[in-house]
């Protein structure tokens, strides 16, 4: 469960053709992924948690069935790996056998957040701090393979790093007042500034481990997910006080991108911001022009908007999954994920990314 294939919410643009160079030699030697359930591909499978997708109908359109992805088929990172030129998806850290670490790893964990306590009511999860420690182990292993810190540093500076955190810190922390006291201790503004402050320290730690080409997810409109609408809205409209909070986070995150890029001590580093919010709202407000028919109800789930309960084991989902934006109460379908990766890999509009898209970032 965790944040969301839903933040991968983007416009279907049928006339957009990816260049032929995305399917050849990889444009980067490795691709490292940090975050929550947006692209968790199995790291939570062995954890004691409600936040995992190891049963059908998750993965219903995969020939091999469910894999741990919170989607009907491929997620954002699967498509991004293809666009970057990799011949197979980036494997989860939890199932890495060591032979594939030079190509990158996926550390993401459903229900994880920037803050350590985020998501604890769902059970075990791998927080950003823990994901950073897992990556530190990976870097040490790469040093053993490449023969030392200097060669490792040179190698990692060419790699692509994708980070997506923050949604769960609102969804599974601040706005669950029956479990967490953060909303009684902090205003939304105070809480958001604390998140950004901690996020900054974590990103700098990743820089110290060798990251130089870094994409940071802006948060999508959490208040428009079937789950939040089932909690707060009876007429299938977005929940504005939640969207206001995530927009505030995005504002400060974009400022952080500027700060990091202007920090002369961060040599050879470049950070970009992915504007998931605005791209998502375009789809939600004009779904038919994007190829979707249903954007306010999930393909799989129960209750109001199919969002009161997420996808249950062996539930029968909607049949025409390409017409649904949301797969379950929180996450988007493969149709949305494919377009999400296109819009962020090579921006359709200037506002899609800031200051560069992923294609131009990895060329640096």
- What is the percent of the chain with per-residue pLDDT over 70, rounded to a whole number? 93
Give me the catalytic one of 40, 78, 328, 357.
328
* Confidence at residue 319, expressed as pLDDT on a 0 to 100 scale: 95
Query: Which DSSP symbol is given to 30?
Result: -
Query: What percentage of the chain carries pLDDT values higher than 90?
Result: 82
The owner of tokens 């202007």 is: 262
| pLDDT computed for residue 100 by the predictor | 82
What pLDDT is recorded for position 33?
98
Average pLDDT over residues 273-295: 92
Residue 234: the pLDDT is 73
Q: Which of 36, 37, 162, 341 is catalytic?
A: 37
331 is catalytic: yes
User: Is residue 241 flagged as an active site residue?
Assistant: no
CATH assignment at residue 238: 3.40.50.1110
Residue 200's pLDDT band (cuts 50, 70, 90): very high
Residue-level pLDDT at 17: 32
Out of 20-34, 67-81, 89-103, 212-226, least confident range: 20-34
pLDDT in tens, 241-283: 999 999 999 999 999 999 999 999 999 999 999 999 999 899 9
Pull the structure tokens for residue 343: 């819009």
* Catalytic-residue membership of 352: no
pLDDT of residue 258: 98
The pLDDT of 125-133, averaged and rounded, is 98
Residue from 162, 290, 331, 332 carrying the catalytic annotation: 331
Confidence bin at 316 (pLDDT 50/70/90) = very high
> What is the rounded CA–CA span in Å between residue 24 and residue 248?
39
Please give the residue that has the higher pLDDT: either 1 or 161: 161
- Report helix, strand and coil shares of the chain as percent, to nearest 5: 45, 10, 45
Per-residue pLDDT for 363 more than 90? Answer: yes
Which residue, 92, 101, 103, 81, is CA-closest to 37? Answer: 92
Give the SS3 label for residue 250.
helix
pLDDT band at residue 65 using 50, 70 and 90 as cut-offs: confident
Average pLDDT, the chain: 91
For residue 24, is pLDDT > 70?
no
Answer yes or no: are the C-beta atoms of 160 and 32 closer than 8 Å.
Answer: yes
**Which residues form the domain of 126?**
5-363
What is the tally of structural domains in the chain? 1
Is the pTM of the predicted complex or chain greater than 0.85? Answer: yes
Say how far apart CA 339 and CA 243 lie, in whole Å: 22
Task: Summarize pLDDT for 175-195 with one digit per residue, the tens.
Answer: 999 999 999 999 999 999 999
């Amino acid at each position: 469960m965790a944040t969301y294939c839903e933040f991968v919410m983007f416009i279907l643009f049928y006339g957009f053709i990816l260049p032929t160079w995305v399917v050849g030699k990889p444009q980067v030697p490795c691709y490292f992924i940090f975050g929550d359930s947006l692209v968790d591909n199995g790291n939570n499978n062995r954890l004691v948690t409600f936040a995992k997708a190891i049963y059908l109908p998750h993965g219903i359109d995969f020939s091999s069935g469910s894999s741990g992805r919170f989607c009907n088929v491929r997620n954002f990172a699967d498509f991004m790996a293809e666009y970057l030129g990799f011949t197979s998806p980036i494997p989860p850290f939890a199932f890495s056998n060591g032979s594939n670490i030079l190509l990158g790893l996926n550390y993401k964990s459903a229900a994880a957040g920037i803050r350590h306590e985020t998501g604890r009511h769902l059970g075990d999860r791998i927080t950003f701090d823990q994901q950073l420690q897992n990556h530190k182990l990976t870097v040490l292993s790469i040093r053993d393979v490449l023969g030392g810190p200097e060669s490792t540093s040179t190698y990692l500076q060419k790699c692509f790093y994708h980070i997506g955190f923050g949604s769960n810190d609102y969804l599974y922390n601040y706005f669950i007042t029956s479990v967490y006291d953060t909303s009684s201790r902090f205003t939304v503004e105070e809480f958001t500034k604390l998140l950004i402050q901690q996020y900054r320290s974590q990103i700098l730690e990743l820089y110290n481990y060798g990251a130089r080409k870094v994409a940071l997810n802006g948060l999508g409109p959490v208040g428009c997910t079937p789950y939040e609408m089932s909690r707060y809205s009876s007429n299938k409209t977005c929940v504005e006080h939640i969207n206001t909070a995530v927009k505030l986070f995005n504002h400060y995150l974009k400022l952080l991108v500027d700060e990091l890029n202007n920090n002369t001590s961060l040599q050879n580093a470049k950070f970009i911001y992915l504007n998931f919010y605005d791209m998502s709202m375009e789809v939600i407000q004009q779904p038919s022009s994007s190829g979707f028919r249903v954007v306010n109800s999930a393909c799989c789930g129960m209750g109001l908007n199919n969002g009161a309960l997420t996808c249950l084991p062996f539930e029968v989902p909607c049949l025409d999954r390409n017409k649904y934006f949301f797969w379950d109460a929180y996450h988007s379908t493969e149709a949305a994920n494919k377009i999400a990766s296109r819009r962020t890999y090579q921006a359709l509009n200037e506002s899609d990314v800031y200051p560069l898209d992923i294609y131009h970032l990895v060329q640096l």
